[in-house]
């Protein structure tokens, strides 16, 4: 009869295999990025008449939107060629008052329900938007002065371009361990994964700092109000119709990451659930449509559900690995034990390699100790919550929409409370 230790070791050796496979994928991504530079698109055609642009700002109880509105009002795009439409679903009087202070300079659109949440607000805002190009910012984002001019130019070069995605520059990275780890994940996504998406012709829209051709958006029926990741759903809808989405990797706009563990895990779970639902709803097109080539199918599969399919194995590997130390026979630590530990650490360390490569490219190697610790602690919790979220999506279970609080919404008093509390102000 097998002992508890032998049973645990058997399970570990089984679950570690898919983790090693995913790790190899991560290592391969790093190797590919040695030969792929962040897209730096330049469109030098002289513009005689700039297209009319509508900047849409979906808001729900985010006083920080005042910062975004001020920044958007000062963009260097011709003032008579763009407008700002704030889709305000707020119930918070403070947020409403801040938005109302800009009356006369912006359009304010309000509704008496929150049907479809962000997607619903954006669809409703379209009724009041004049732009032939629609630019979307979340309320905490701060675009550079030349953002509109740069993101609009690709549309003038190719009629098949339906969307253009900018890149994030995290503005609250150094707040605490959660923000450092969260920013490293986001930077890795835009530094490592999105360039590969771009190279394969399957760039995903990120929900903010992006521009869309209005007529194409209307052609596909607007935003999917039943999706928790309406940006991913729209991406697949555009790509399967043969449209292009470009990634401008050197066009950065400042944005925030969640500042405490609860909000971070909830946000990531919502993304995991939403991405998995996109796969469930479009799997036939993703796997069998002739519109997508092999590279696109692989990219879309991995983006929508690939990593989250392995997440449960990461959880089991961690659990059985720790139990192995407890259940194992007492014996002196030998050199072969060290070699075995190094082998498994390297074989399953592809995720850390991605984070390390990202920090090196971003000149943030000083953050690696914090990010490493975050990966070993927060990362395990993330694997658990994302596993649950993805399984719920695959089983057709519902998930409640969740608003991620913005750091910029805080008063000075609350900021000090978050900075000096152990749990990040939860």
pLDDT more than 90, % of the chain: 72
23-37, 348-362, 403-417: least confident range: 403-417
For residues 73-101, give the mean pLDDT.
95
Distance CA 317, CA 319 (A): 6
pLDDT of residue 410: 52
Residue 413 reports pLDDT greater than 60: no
Tokens representing 227 are 């999706």
Per DSSP, the three-state class of 15 is helix
Distance of CA 124 to the CA centre of its chain: 24
Q: Greater confidence, 101 or 323?
A: 101
Tokens representing 366 are 């000083």
For residues 106-134, give the mean pLDDT.
95
Residue 5 reports pLDDT greater than 90: no
For residues 167-196, give the mean pLDDT.
93
pLDDT of residue 41: 67
**Domain CATH number, residue 93:** 3.90.550.10
pLDDT of residue 336: 82
Tokens representing 145 are 């002065």
Cβ atoms < 10 Å from Cβ of 253: 22
pLDDT of residue 1: 76
44 pLDDT band (50/70/90 cuts)? low
Distance of CA 160 to the CA centre of its chain: 25
424 pLDDT band (50/70/90 cuts)? very low
pLDDT more than 70, % of the chain: 93
pLDDT of residue 426: 34
Q: Name the most confidently modeled range: 7-11, 128-132, 316-320.
A: 128-132
Cβ atoms < 10 Å from Cβ of 394: 16
Per the structure, the complete domain to which residue 210 belongs is given by: 1-426
258-267, 328-337, 355-364: least confident range: 328-337
* Helix or strand holding residue 316 (H, E): helix 307-327
* Helix or strand holding residue 96 (H, E): helix 93-100
For the chain, what is the domain count? 1
Show Cβ contacts of residue 333 under 8 Å, excluding neighbours closer than 6 positions. none
15-19, 168-172, 210-214, 412-416: least confident range: 412-416
pLDDT of residue 218: 96
pLDDT of residue 45: 65
21 pLDDT band (50/70/90 cuts)? very high
Residue 416 reports pLDDT greater than 90: no
Residue 364 reports pLDDT greater than 50: yes
Order of strands, edge to edge, in the sheet holding 53-59?
107-110, 82-88, 53-59, 133-136, 210-213, 161-170, 244-255
Mean of pLDDT over the chain? 89
pLDDT one-digit tens code per residue, 374-411: 999 999 999 999 999 999 999 999 887 777 777 766 54
* Helix or strand holding residue 107 (H, E): strand 107-110
Residue 33 reports pLDDT greater than 50: yes
Residue 36 reports pLDDT greater than 80: no
CA angle 50, 55, 57 (to 5 degrees): 175
305 pLDDT band (50/70/90 cuts)? confident
102 pLDDT band (50/70/90 cuts)? very high
pLDDT of residue 106: 97
Residue 412 reports pLDDT greater than 80: no
Tokens representing 234 are 């729209």
Give just the sign of the alpha carbon dihedral 326, 330, 333, 334: negative
Tokens representing 65 are 């939107």
Show Cβ contacts of residue 313 under 8 Å, excluding neighbours closer than 6 positions. 15, 16, 18, 19
pLDDT one-digit tens code per residue, 242-264: 999 999 999 999 999 999 999 99
Residue 233 reports pLDDT greater than 70: yes
Residue 419 reports pLDDT greater than 60: no
For residues 110-116, give the mean pLDDT.
92
Short-list 305, 270, 281, CA closest to 118: 270
């Amino acid at each position: 009869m097998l002992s508890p230790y032998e049973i645990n070791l058997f399970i570990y050796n089984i679950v570690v295999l898919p983790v090693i496979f995913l790790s190899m994928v991560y290592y391969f991504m790093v190797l590919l990025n040695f030969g792929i530079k962040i897209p730096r698109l330049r469109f030098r055609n002289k513009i005689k008449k700039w297209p009319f642009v509508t900047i849409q700002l979906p808001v729900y109880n985010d006083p920080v939107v005042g910062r975004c509105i001020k920044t958007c009002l000062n963009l260097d795009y011709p003032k008579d060629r763009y407008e700002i439409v704030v889709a305000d679903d707020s119930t918070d009087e403070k947020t409403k008052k801040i938005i109302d202070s800009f009356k006369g300079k912006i359009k304010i659109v309000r509704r008496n329900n929150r049907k479809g949440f962000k997607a619903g607000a954006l669809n409703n805002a379209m009724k009041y938007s004049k732009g032939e190009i629609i630019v979307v910012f979340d309320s905490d984002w701060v675009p550079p002065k030349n953002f509109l001019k740069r993101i609009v130019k690709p549309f003038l070069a190719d009629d098949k371009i339906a969307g253009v995605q900018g890149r994030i520059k995290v503005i609250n990275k150094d707040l605490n361990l959660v923000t450092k780890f969260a920013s490293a994940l986001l930077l890795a996504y835009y530094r490592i994964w999105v360039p590969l998406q771009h190279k394969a012709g399957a760039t995903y829209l990120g929900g903010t700092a992006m521009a869309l051709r209005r007529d194409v958006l209307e052609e596909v029926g607007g935003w999917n109000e039943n999706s928790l990741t309406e940006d991913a759903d729209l991406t697949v809808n555009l790509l399967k119709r043969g449209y292009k989405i470009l990634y401008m990797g050197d066009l950065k706009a400042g944005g925030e990451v969640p500042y405490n563990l609860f909000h971070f895990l909830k946000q990531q779970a919502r993304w995991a659930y939403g991405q998995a639902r996109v796969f469930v709803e479009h799997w036939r097109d993703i796997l069998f449509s002739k519109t997508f080539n092999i590279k696109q199918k692989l990219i879309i599969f991995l983006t929508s559900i690939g990593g989250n399919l392995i997440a449960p194995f990461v959880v089991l590997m961690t659990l059985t690995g720790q139990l192995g130390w407890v259940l194992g026979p007492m014996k002196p630590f030998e050199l072969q034990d060290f070699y075995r530990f190094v082998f498994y650490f390297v074989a399953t360390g592809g995720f850390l390699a991605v984070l390390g490569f990202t920090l090196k490219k971003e000149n943030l190697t000083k953050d690696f100790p914090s990010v490493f610790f975050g990966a070993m602690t927060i990362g395990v919790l993330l694997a658990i919550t994302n596993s649950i979220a993805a399984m719920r999506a695959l089983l057709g279970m519902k998930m409640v929409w969740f608003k991620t609080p913005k750091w910029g919404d805080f008063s000075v008093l609350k900021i000090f409370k978050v900075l000096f509390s152990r749990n990040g102000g939860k």
